[in-house]
Amino acid sequence: MDKHGKIYIAGHGGLVGTAILGKLKNHFYKNIIFRTSKELDLRNQEDVATFFAIEQPEYVFMAAAKVGGILANDTYPANFIYDNVMMQANIINAAYQNKVKKLLFLGSSCIYPKLAPQPIKEEYLLTGELEATNAPYAIAKIAGITMCQAYNEQYGTTFISVMPTNLYGPNDNFDLASSHVLPALIRKFHEAKMNHLSNVEIWGTGKPRREFLHVDDLADACLFLMNQYQDNQPLNIGVGKDISIAELATLIAAVVGYSGNIMYNTAMPDGTPRKLLDVSKLANLGWCPAIELEDGIRRTYQWYLKNLVI
């Protein structure tokens, strides 16, 4: 990317967008534009088209998305598919119409089949049934990836797609009703410690395995790929190793300093049994993550204490 080129970050205020914005500034990209959701509703096609026509960005990071954990996805499936399809369709089409040089679309590892072979290779996409609890979100993301590929094939655009694994870090969502597992556990264990609770309940059996990538590592990978990658095939971004939810809970409890009991509510859903990405293609390009999980959790807990604990 041209250091002086105009860069638009859609979703700059979220977990991923904030990290990308910080990474760009640290690498001396200064011509960066963004809008809050109140200033620009990305679900509104006319507003998005007008914004692109006026601003004429040269590079786009499509980090805007409606995201959430199992409870949120299960409660608001219509919102998850509608909001995400509308936002990404408007951004991708406006990028084409305004001759954007390169766009990076952020998908998700949940797009893969529920029972995909492990570790999950990029070519496993659309080879099996999705996990039911987040199928609307996954289908929206698959549509975004397919849209990028279709525009590349028909119009000669350079729109790349990446599939990050489970993310965490500063600016994460710690709302227990809508957050993902890692920030939810940080909050649960912190509040249990402060309230001297003897037990903390966790949904499911604790057996599912998940891979976790610090959002600063994701931002670094995105910048790397905007400069190094232009293939039409989507690319996994992860750490290449996973951990069980039970092991994660034990680790977070230790970081937070909670010494009570961890109870598993087996009446609640587990979600996908395992979701480990094959990151060999990204590694072969020359990128690897730098932040170890325990260190990343420690940093995230410190951010939580400084920013969200009253």
Determine whether the annotation assigns residue 256 to a binding site: no
Q: E strand or H helix at 34, and its extent?
A: none
Is 11 annotated for ligand binding?
A: yes
**How is residue 118 annotated by DSSP?**
S
The answer to whether the annotation marks 14 as part of a ligand binding site is: yes
For residue 279, count other CB atoms closer than 10 A to its CB. Answer: 26
210 known member of a binding site: yes
Residue 298 in marked binding region: no
> Which residue in the list 137, 151, 229, 258 is annotated as catalytic?
137
Which residues make beta-bridge pairs with 202? 264
Q: Is 17 annotated as a binding residue?
A: yes
188 is in an annotated binding site: yes
Nearest-CA neighbor of 16 among 238, 241, 171?
171
- The Cα 74–Cα 124 span in angstroms is 24
25 labelled ligand-binding: no
Q: Of all helices (H) and strands (E), which one includes residue 105?
A: strand 102-106
Residue 170 annotated as part of some ligand binding site: no
Is there a binding annotation on residue 285?
Answer: no
Helix and strand element counts for the chain (H, E):
10, 13
DSSP 131: P
296 is in an annotated binding site: no
Query: Do the annotations mark residue 12 as ligand-binding?
Result: yes
Residue 137 is a catalytic residue: yes
Q: Is 109 annotated as a binding residue?
A: yes
Task: For residue 4, say whether it is annotated as part of any ligand binding site.
Answer: no
Count of residues in the chain:
310
| H-helix segments, the chain | 15-26, 45-55, 70-75, 77-97, 135-155, 181-194, 215-228, 245-256, 280-285, 293-307
- In this structure, what token pair is assigned to residue 119? 């570790």
37 is in an annotated binding site: no
Question: In the beta sheet, which residues pair with residue 234?
Answer: none
DSSP-based three-state secondary structure for 62: strand
For residue 35, the SS3 value is coil
Annotation-wise, does 67 bind a ligand?
Answer: no
The CA-CA-CA angle for residues 77, 82, 88, to 5°, reads 125
> What is the C-alpha to C-alpha distance for residues 99 and 70, in angstroms, rounded to an integer?
38
- To the question of whether residue 166 is assigned a binding role by annotation, the answer is yes
Write out the binding residues for substrate: 188, 203, 210, 270
Task: State the catalytic residues.
Answer: 137
Write out the binding residues for NADP(+): 11-17, 106-109, 141, 164-167, 180
Write out the binding residues: 11-17, 106-109, 141, 164-167, 180, 188, 203, 210, 270
